[in-house]
Structure 1
């Protein structure tokens, strides 16, 4: 554009000074003639870079997701092809589910076993209460027999003292008393044991044994849920719309759940169009302003955009936290990125595409036409393929 302006201005000067000789060509007119275009070009360029800042560094960035399975196993199916459109929810690959089905069956059996154990523990609770009642009833009966035996011993002692009763009956009664004492002691122990088991309860009023079994059931159900979740993870689906590039996964390969060993890279369709500017070029840039970009993959085409936001941060804004002085390299001043949103929804932009662009601010609006001419001329130059092979 500057060259075109100089050519037109030079042609006009030729007409004035040489063709029609309207003015003399001397030192004064020479200085004036040369100074005018230089001053005008400098003023236009200075205001144009603020009113409609341009950049030769426009990049298209896509979200990339490293696909790592949550379980480890042998791949039995790869459901996608490289560089093909993939819809969200489509199967990427499947891992052999048989080992995980076995774990699921074992977890279900453990839950059933724990629940059966709970029924037995609840039955034992009732059994302990019945044992306590039975032991208490037997103790009452044995106590009555013991009192009767003691009374007989006293009677036989009285008879033996007068010589009226046989000595054998006395000894038999005394042996019966001792046997009843032993039986009563055994019943006391059984009663105490049954009472302890009956009264052994948790804070919720539940028997300790039953509470332990319920805890085992909860643990078994958690293991069952985990086994079901692992079985579900053997099928890996696409997290969003996109595609897989450089697909190396094959049937028979072992897919590992190690985070550092992704099995494929998924490129989402969601994109960021970033235009990079010097820090003093974006002071008039605001959200919603008009922008245009010319991508090299579409020579001669102007893509309309809107400013989404200015990313007010650079890598130079970070200082490592530590006990030592930060060792920062001497770098040039970082540029700021401006995110653009294409208005043309149907335009396809490859991830990593490069181009140029301009933003039209609300400052010195009449200069926007100059920038639009510049960017359109530049987009035409993308048709040129300068290669010697």
Structure 2
């Protein structure tokens, strides 16, 4: 940028003093030209670096989804190709569903059995209630006879043996009544044990069946969005493992982010919505247009790591340079989003301050995009 401005200024001086000789070229004019040139260039550079800040560190980033299976099994089909466009919902991988289908059938049978068992609880409760009533009636009869036998024995009209016999019968029936009531309470507890509208036993099997069906659905892995797979190595016969460190593939989404990193004092005038021009080395001759979507006012130098050591400043002379702040750009034309992932380039932001200097930055950006056609290497 400095070289271009200096060349333009030198051209103007040459035209005025040498070519057309509009002013005399002497020691005074020479000193004045140098002083005015240096001062003017300094003012111009400092001004446009604030009003139209520019960064040489612009990156095109894509979201990458690490495809990890949710279930274990042998892969039977990979119906995609690497580096080919895949639409959202397309099948990426199929895992052998046979073990999961067998588990679903097994739990389906268990659910039918559990529902049948739950249906018999009503009849079991009625039987238990009837048994309790029958024992209670027998107990009441035995208690009445015991009372009569005691009255007769007290007046000498009956044997003491009858009193002992009826007393033993009452004790036996009281024990039977306690057992009958316990059996009735057990059935009643099973009837009252519900999860929602289902009995507890039925609900447990139903949840196991739902889990088995979900696992069966996970045997087919679908594309989470439009994108493509890079470095596809998985093949039919491979074994998929539900483990975070055993990804099947990396799925690159088409959605892109354009991020620029600016020096901290360059963003004084920048705000969200400011217009931006972006030049990428992968697209020479093209100027892409967008605007500032957001500024991330945070970087790693402002964070302290949790530890048992008291934070301290770096020794004098070893302090690292201040880190830059990231600016996220939103492209205006959807067609411009089809950029190569990982592309580097430059970007200029045009603020609302001193717009007359924007022309200088626009000229510089267009020159740089032409320079991107040049490949500086011999091998």
TM range (shorter): 0.7 to 0.9
Aligned to 1:366: 356
1:235 maps to 2:225 = no
CA shift for structure 1 position 185:
3.7
Cα distance change on mapping 1:8 and 1:269 into 2, 3 Å: closer
Secondary structure of 2:253 counterpart: strand
CA shift for structure 1 position 92:
1.1
* Higher mean C-alpha deviation, range 365-374 or range 3-12: 3-12
Q: 2:248 aligns with which of 239, 263, 269?
A: 263
Secondary structure of 1:122 counterpart: helix
Secondary structure of 1:207 counterpart: helix
Secondary structure of 1:283 counterpart: coil
Aligned to 1:109: 109
Cα distance change on mapping 1:243 and 1:34 into 2, 3 Å: same
Q: Return the alpha-carbon distance in structure 2 between the equivalents of residues 304 and 13 of structure 1.
A: 35
Q: Cα deviations across residues 263-304 of structure 1 (Å, max 9, x unaligned)? A: 111111111101111000011111111110111111111111
Q: Return the alpha-carbon distance in structure 2 between the equivalents of residues 180 and 20 of structure 1.
A: 145
CA shift for structure 1 position 3:
4.2
Aligned to 1:188: 174
Aligned to 2:346: 356
Cα distance change on mapping 1:18 and 1:375 into 2, 3 Å: closer
For structure 1, the residue ranges without an aligned partner over 5 or more in a row are 159-169
Aligned to 1:49: 49
Aligned to 2:82: 82
CA shift for structure 1 position 11:
4.6
CA shift for structure 1 position 35:
1.7
Normalised by the length of structure 2, the TM-score is 0.87
- 8 Å contact kept, 2:6–2:41: no
Aligned to 2:294: 309
Q: 2:327 aligns with which of 331, 334, 338?
A: 338
CA RMSD of aligned residues (A): 2.9
Cα distance change on mapping 1:237 and 1:117 into 2, 3 Å: same
Secondary structure of 2:335 counterpart: coil
Normalised by the length of structure 1, the TM-score is 0.85
Q: Return the alpha-carbon distance in structure 2 between the equivalents of residues 128 and 14 of structure 1.
A: 117
Aligned to 1:210: 191
Aligned residues: 370
Cα distance change on mapping 1:331 and 1:19 into 2, 3 Å: closer
CA shift for structure 1 position 123:
2.0
Larger radius of gyration: 1
Q: Return the alpha-carbon distance in structure 1 between the equivalents of residues 67 and 221 of structure 2.
A: 9
Q: Return the alpha-carbon distance in structure 2 between the equivalents of residues 328 and 219 of structure 1.
A: 59
CA shift for structure 1 position 343:
0.9
Cα distance change on mapping 1:106 and 1:24 into 2, 3 Å: same
